[in-house]
Homo-oligomer: A and B are copies of this chain.
Amino acid sequence: MSNELLHFEDFAVGRKFFGGPYRVTRDEVFEFAREFDPQPHHLDEEAAKQSMLGGLSASGWQVSAIAMRLFAEAVILKTANLGGPGCDDGRWMKPVRPDDVLMLEAEVLSARQSGSRPEIGFVKFVWRLCNQREQVAEFVVTTMPARRGP
């Protein structure tokens, strides 16, 4: 892979990357909910007003997917990345509403070389997703960037 791409060695602990803005639309909240999370508070304005969240909100899994998109644009599409084995500690902290404008901060939490596969490493990021006012979600996600070489 091209050496112009980011590699394992570029992800020092504490390094931050930034993604967004991304404006959430009412239509995409409905569309995602119909396909993947058909709970009334994601699908129906009136039911949502009666719910604990007090109004229409996006599925948490849509929020995760939007964060992935912003992370792809900010990091993954610029990286010699071979995959992503998992995520930990996902927290949906505040409701995400139509017309919210989301921004992502992704910070390197840890980086280690693979024991069994010397050509790759594992880099753990924390994603902090914010709207105009406050943080709305947090996820810890592992990536597998290629090493630059021995």
Q: Hey, which bits of chain A sit against chain B, CB under 8 A?
A: 32, 35-39, 51-53, 59-62, 64-66, 68-69, 72, 76-77, 81-92
Q: Are B35 and A69 in contact, CB atoms less than 8 angstroms apart? A: yes
Q: Are B36 and A65 in contact, CB atoms less than 8 angstroms apart? A: yes
- Write out the residue numbers on chain B whose beta carbons fall within 8 Å of the beta carbon of A51: 82
This protein's copies in its complex: 2
Query: Quick one: given A37-B68, A64-B61, are A52 and B89 in contact (CB under 8 Å)?
Result: no
Contact of A85 among B35, B69, B91 (CB under 8 A): B91
- Write out the residue numbers on chain B whose beta carbons fall within 8 Å of the beta carbon of A32: 65
- Inter-chain CA distance A77–B37, complex, in Å, is 10
Q: Chain B residue with minimal CB distance to A87?
A: B90
Query: Quick one: given A37-B65, A64-B64, are A88 and B86 in contact (CB under 8 Å)?
Result: no
